[in-house]
């Protein structure tokens, strides 16, 4: 039944992908610092690199842009398809939109396929799809981050727990819910693969969260 909406869902996927191309780090670094973050620090267009290179306020601005674009995109997709085909179609549109946004953020065609790692966008996606559980998970994750001081550990744990939760509470007949969330996890693993390698060799650098919060920038 849902496949009767194939062209609407296809359009939502394409639009979501290109909205995902809106990269907070590139916008903020070029607009305010007149530099492209993709040539600085770790060369990643994400919140962590922005905070390390330019300071916490620019990292937070990046986080909010990437989070909100995903949150708004997914919510709009859900509302539109719910009005057209009902609640189930709306959920499918939401998860499809979330996948497309993350892919668009990580591999933005409009930015030469040089994007971020999708964590902030992933938070926005899950805030739209699983809000209560995601809020609880973020609070627990922040406590973990204070201990491990590795953003990559926080990000991968976040996606992994969300995936486990999705498989545990999947509605009957909606197998595509955990399937999409598993794709989110795989995208996160691919994006963070260099971090995983460094973690395995004990070479992953700490975020320096305490110093960032106290002084607004990372210690050198």
Count of domains in the chain? 1
HSE toward the beta carbon, residue 26, CA cutoff 13 A = 17
Average per-residue pLDDT for the chain: 92
Q: Could you tell me if residue 157 is inside a domain?
A: yes
What pLDDT, on a 0 to 100 scale, did the predictor assign at position 37? 94
What pLDDT, on a 0 to 100 scale, did the predictor assign at position 14? 98
HSE toward the beta carbon, residue 130, CA cutoff 13 A = 25
Q: Is the pLDDT of residue 220 over 50?
A: no
Q: Could you tell me if residue 32 is inside a domain?
A: yes
* Residues 32-82: tens digit of each pLDDT: 999 999 999 889 999 989 988 998 889 999 999 999 999 999 999 999 999
Q: Could you tell me if residue 162 is inside a domain?
A: yes
What pLDDT, on a 0 to 100 scale, did the predictor assign at position 213? 60
Q: How far is Cα 118 from Cα 91, in angstroms, rounded to an integer?
A: 21
Q: How confident is the model at residue 209 (pLDDT cuts 50, 70, 90)?
A: low
Q: Could you tell me if residue 27 is inside a domain?
A: yes
- Return the percentage of the chain with pLDDT > 70, whole number: 95
Domain residues for 178? 2-215
What pLDDT, on a 0 to 100 scale, did the predictor assign at position 211? 60
What pLDDT, on a 0 to 100 scale, did the predictor assign at position 60? 92
Q: How far is Cα 114 from Cα 137, in angstroms, rounded to an integer?
A: 29
Q: Is the pLDDT of residue 5 over 90?
A: no
Q: How far is Cα 111 from Cα 142, in angstroms, rounded to an integer?
A: 31
Nearest to 111 by CA among 39, 55, 9: 39
Q: How far is Cα 179 from Cα 175, in angstroms, rounded to an integer?
A: 6
Q: How confident is the model at residue 219 (pLDDT cuts 50, 70, 90)?
A: very low
* Residues 113-140: tens digit of each pLDDT: 999 999 999 999 999 999 999 999 999 9
Q: How confident is the model at residue 215 (pLDDT cuts 50, 70, 90)?
A: low
What pLDDT, on a 0 to 100 scale, did the predictor assign at position 3? 78
Q: How far is Cα 138 from Cα 123, in angstroms, rounded to an integer?
A: 9
Q: Which two tokens stand for residue 148?
A: 């491990």
Q: Could you tell me if residue 220 is inside a domain?
A: no
């Amino acid at each position: 039944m849902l496949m009767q909406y194939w062209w609407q869902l296809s359009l939502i996927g394409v639009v979501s992908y290109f909205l995902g191309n809106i990269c907070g780090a590139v916008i903020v670094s070029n607009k305010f610092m007149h530099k492209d973050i993709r040539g600085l620090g770790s060369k990643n267009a994400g919140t962590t690199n922005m905070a390390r290179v330019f300071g916490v306020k620019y990292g937070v601005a990046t986080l909010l842009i990437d989070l909100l674009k995903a949150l708004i995109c997914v919510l709009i997709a859900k509302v539109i398809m719910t009005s057209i085909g009902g609640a189930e179609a709306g959920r499918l549109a939401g998860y499809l939109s979330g996948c497309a946004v993350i892919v668009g953020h990580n591999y933005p065609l409009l930015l030469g396929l040089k994007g971020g790692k999708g964590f902030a966008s992933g938070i926005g996606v899950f805030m739209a799809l699983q809000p209560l559980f995601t809020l609880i998970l973020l609070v627990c994750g922040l406590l973990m981050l204070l201990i491990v001081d590795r953003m990559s550990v926080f990000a991968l744990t976040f996606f992994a727990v969300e995936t486990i939760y999705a498989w545990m509470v999947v509605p009957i007949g909606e197998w595509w819910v955990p399937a999409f969330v598993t794709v989110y996890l795989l995208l996160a693993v691919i994006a963070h693969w260099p971090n995983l390698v460094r973690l395995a060799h004990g070479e992953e650098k700490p975020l320096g969260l305490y110093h960032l919060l106290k002084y607004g920038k990372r210690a050198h």
